[in-house]
Amino acid sequence: PIDWLGSTQWSKVSMVLPTTWGVGGMIVIYLASLQAVPQHLYEAARLDGARFWRQFWHVTLPLISPVVYFNLIMTIITLLQVFIIPYIMTKGGPARSTLFYVQYIYDTAFRFLRMGYASAMAWILFLVIMLLTLIATWATAKRIYYSAD
């Protein structure tokens, strides 16, 4: 049998399975946004001769772009704050193979009692998340469609 949590090779893979549970929330948000796209726009695109992919690129994607942006930002933040699943399953894992940054901050603060150092590390994490959010906002600013409704 495979030693899922005791092997440095398989310990990261074993973190993926429980993490996929969080995808359901994003799928519900995407589904709600897809249902909010007005059907008359698809009918107009069909009358203009647009097939499925052209409808997707020129009707669907522009109208759900705020949701795509929201899910992108939330995914970036979530991925940079991974803590609970690795901590519960392996506490950093074999040979620190599942030691993520937030768990390292936690260990620094509460295991090694270096609160100031852990606080500085948390501020660095905040700045990285803020920087990545600003980059994503800048990169997608002209591509996001906000309706005037």
3-state SS, residue 84 = helix
- Top pLDDT among 83 and 2 is at 83
Instruction: Of 5, 26, 2, give the one whose Cα is nearest residue 87.
Output: 5
Q: Where are the domains of the chain?
A: 11-140
Q: Which residues contact 72 (CB under 8 A, 6 or more apart)?
A: 136, 140
Lowest model confidence (mean pLDDT) among 49-53, 71-75, 91-95 = 91-95
**pLDDT value for 85:** 86
**pLDDT value for 42:** 95
**pLDDT value for 11:** 84
Q: Provide the 8-state DSSP code for 92.
A: T
pTM over 0.75: yes
Q: pLDDT confidence of 44, banded at 50, 70, 90?
A: very high
**pLDDT value for 122:** 98
Residue 148 pLDDT exceeds 80: no
As a whole number of angstroms, the distance between CA 117 and CA 15 comes to 27
Q: pLDDT confidence of 149, banded at 50, 70, 90?
A: low
Class of domain 11-140: mainly alpha
% of the chain residues with pLDDT over 70: 99
